[in-house]
Structure 1
Amino acid sequence: MENQAYIKQLLADYLNKQISREEFNQLFSQLGDLEDEAFKATVLQVLESQPAFVDARFIDERVAALYPQLQAKIERPVKWQRRWHLVRPYISVAAVVLVILFTGWFLLSERQYPKKKDIVTTEQVLPGTNRAKLTLADGLTVDLSEYQNGVIMGDEIKYSDGSRVLGSTGKGASLMTISTPKGGTYQITLSDGTQVWLNAGSSLSYPAHFPEGERMVEVSGEAYFEVAKDEKRPFKVSSSGQQIEVLGTAFNIAAYPDEADTKTTLVQGKVKVFNLIAHHSNLLRPGQQATVHGAHIEVGQANVEASIAWKDGLFNFHELTIDQAMKQIERWYDVNVRYEGKKPSGYLGGKMSRGVKLSTFLNFLEQDFQIKAEWKSDRTLILKPAS
């Protein structure tokens, strides 16, 4: 009984992405030693207790290609099923578990073995989802669950639904970082109650607990802030070439390393934007945007709806050039864009859900803007005039 409890805990930890390579090997070994009925009962109990993980996204062509090797290693005669639901009795629980376990094994070892290139079409390129990595002050990294949308900082680190990510964060002000890859987004509630939304390809560095006197964070990429008011501790955000100081407000920062300008858009409240090169500051009012380019800073009226559309799950291409729009597409769908022939000029327009497949966006380009898209197997899009 004690051994089964240990196996269940390991499997639950694995599903929540909180398992080390050593623990993964222990889980693999322990499952292989169970009698068939005990094996099925143990696994079924864990999986049924976490229905969010019963999802076809665990299965892909790479797992299918390597599955027989895993099956032989565990030495259990199970039937491979490409489509499965745990609630159906005719699906082998063992097959489900082997797929899940081997997917994890593949992800743990993919840096050590060469990948087989998959042939992917634009119909198969899905939009981004909740993906992020948490890096602690000691260098430990934790892959955050795709089935959660955010984490909350405190004496412990928890997901938005209250489930635990990590135990004690300590009382010091040492920095940790949450980062999203291309095709990823995540939310974080800091220890003072400030809420931050991270767009794809972005990072936020912050202390587990803010010290007395001030609250300081650093952003790379794009983030939307709703800052908890604390008149005794100003909230400061450092990003490329600038620093922002606020007391309590909502604003968006776009400071991607591969873009020349850093843009701060104020939704409500007041912020002071410091140009760190020119040692000059400007005070923004709601609806204004500051653009920092080197030693220069410009303040003008902003299209706030367009600037924060990403936070609400939308693309808003209002007055965006094709280059500006495709930067968003590259980050959200994790693709590369090249141009052939004359690059399209002028501005795009319109709105679109960020939940659509890449192929839907390409249809929009081809039909409304006469831009032809050619897809390459290395996830490269080549754009050219349609004529």
Structure 2
Amino acid sequence: MQDLNDLYTRYLNKQCSPEEVRMLLAHFHLTGESSSLRPRILRELAKSNIAKENPPEVDAALKRIHHRLINDISTSMPSRSKTKWTYGIAVAAAVLLFMLIGIWFFTIYTVDRSPAIVNTVDIAPGGNKATLAMENGNTIDLSEVQDGIVIGREITYLDGTPVQNRQATGATHESVSQLILTTPKGGTYRVTLSDGTNVWLNASSTLKYPSRFAESERIVKLEGEAYFDVSKGVPFKVVSSGQTVEVLGTQFNVSAYPDEQQVQTTLVEGIVQVAAESQCLSMRLLPGEQSTLIDAHLKKNRADIASVIAWKEGLFSFNETELRVVMNQLSRWYDVTVEYQGTIPVTYYYGAISRQESLANVLDLLRQSGLNFKIDKTGGTNKVVVLP
């Protein structure tokens, strides 16, 4: 068999014969080994384009190979220091992978697509946006050039700059007051609590917490989604819709949006105990496990950690994610409403996209499914219309 690197390059350049494509696919299918080609594949994905014509008889196999390649990439989530590099790779990967969505419902090269809708308007991605409500009734619009605050003797930004003076915030080290950090649609923010616990809030979320914890336990209340890196100490409890998560010191993600049918808790490190309020049932999670609370029932399964925490790393990450779940995420990040017109087929998505992309760019990728999307902007209301 000829050199695989050369064969893969010829494939990307549309120079492979049908037989050569089958040879390349056979290698991946029979050996299941892509590691030898990984560095080359990453480079090629970063500079490849969408349209690659292939013989119809190998479409199904191409779906498998691309799915395997992108999963290799998207499951290797970057450290924060490598995020910018990964954005380029993730977007390029998404360009290829979004050609492969909805595997059970249509074939890429044979689907009868309606003409693409050209958006005349666009919407920028979200950013650092949040408000801090004090117990005395004061509300502070937090700086968008900062990405977090620290609760201490005074409330400061992560770089030490005071949020406001002590008299304005009403917060002192001696008194305990209740604080509320809220991110709007299109906003994220981070808070370091008085015990050193770090919490990252996703868009459209609210965290209620004291300026100083009691000696016997630590309790916060969450609506929306947040990632917790809990410092060790007395029990730390996160109360959300219908459940309580208790930990001593660990890292986990809780998604408890009121417009979602389920509450999910995903453990990254350590051990957590999840208890449903409506039933005498609790379960312990180990790293890589996820609990789901739905219709007052609690269940446990293995989790795709990379996809769950991708938002914290600046990515949308989809792994067999249904269209409406995808659109809910876009709605919160780009502050838009979503409307469905006509008969929309059940469609699933795979891949990763930078959350720094504009909404039009993201929709252009999603459009490769055969669906169409239109951005409407009337007055102060932004809306995405999904069409067959």
The alpha carbon displacement at 1:124 in A equals 3.4
Report whether the alignment pairs 1:330 with 2:331.
yes
CA distance in 2, matches of 1:173, 1:132: 22
Query: Residue 182 of structure 2 is aligned with which of 179, 182, 204?
Result: 179
Unaligned runs of 5+ in 2: 1-118
Q: Matched residue of 1:161: which SS? A: coil
Which of 148, 157, 160 is 1:159 aligned to?
A: 157
Matched, 1:225 2:228: yes
C-alpha displacement at 1:203, in angstroms? 0.7
Q: CA deviation at 1:229?
A: 0.6
Q: Does residue 251 of structure 1 match 2:252?
A: yes
Following superposition, the deviation at residue 122 of structure 1 comes to: 6.2
Residue 73 of structure 2 is matched in structure 1 by: none
Shift in Å, 1:321:
0.2
- On the 8 A contact 1:122/1:358 being kept in 2, the answer is no
- Report what 2:236 is aligned to: 235
Q: Secondary structure at the match of 1:363?
A: helix
Backbone CA RMSD of aligned residues: 1.1
Contact 1:203 1:220 in 2 (8 A): yes
> What TM-score does the superposition give when structure 2 sets the normalisation length?
0.66
Indicate the residue corresponding to 2:25 in structure 1. none
Give the AA of the match of 1:355.
Q
Give deviations 1:217-261, integer Å, cap 9, x for gaps.
00000000000011xx11000000000100000000000011110
TM-score, length of structure 1 as denominator length = 0.66
Provide the residue aligned with 2:197 in structure 1. 194
Distance, in Å, in 2 between the alignment partners of 1:326 and 1:304 is 20
**TM-aligned CA deviation for residue 123 of structure 1:** 4.8
Q: Which residue number corresponds to residue 291 of structure 1?
A: 292
Give the secondary-structure state (helix, strand or coil) at the position aligned to 2:339.
strand
**Partner Cα distance (1:217, 1:174) in 2:** 13
Q: Secondary structure at the match of 1:248?
A: coil
Matches of 2:140 and 2:122, distance apart in 1? 28
Show the counterpart of 1:305: 306
Larger deviation, residues 291-300 vs 369-378: 369-378
Q: 135-144 or 374-383, which moves further after superposition?
A: 374-383
Structure 2 counterpart of 1:212, from 210, 215, 227: 215
Whether the 8 Å contact between 1:371 and 1:383 is mirrored in structure 2 is yes
Quote how far apart the aligned CAs of 1:167 are: 3.5
Q: How many positions carry a matched residue from both structures? A: 262
**Aligned partners of 1:162, 1:122: CA distance in 2, in Å?**
42
Distance 2:180 2:313 in 1: 23
In structure 2, distance between residues paired with 1:344 and 1:202 = 30
Q: Deviations over 1:278-315 (max 9, x none)?
A: 13110000000000113200100000000000000000
Deviation per CA, 1:49-93, whole angstroms, max 9, x where unpaired?
xxxxxxxxxxxxxxxxxxxxxxxxxxxxxxxxxxxxxxxxxxxxx
- Structure 1 position 371, deviation (Å): 1.1
Letter of the 1:144 partner, please give it. L
Does the aligned pair in 2 maintain the 1:290–1:299 contact within 8 Å? yes
1:288/1:347 Cα in 2 relative to 1: closer, same or farther (>3 Å)?
A: same
Q: Structure 1 stretches (4+) deviating beyond 6 angstroms?
A: none
Distance 2:338 2:371 in 1: 13
> Which residue type is aligned with residue 126 of structure 1?
A
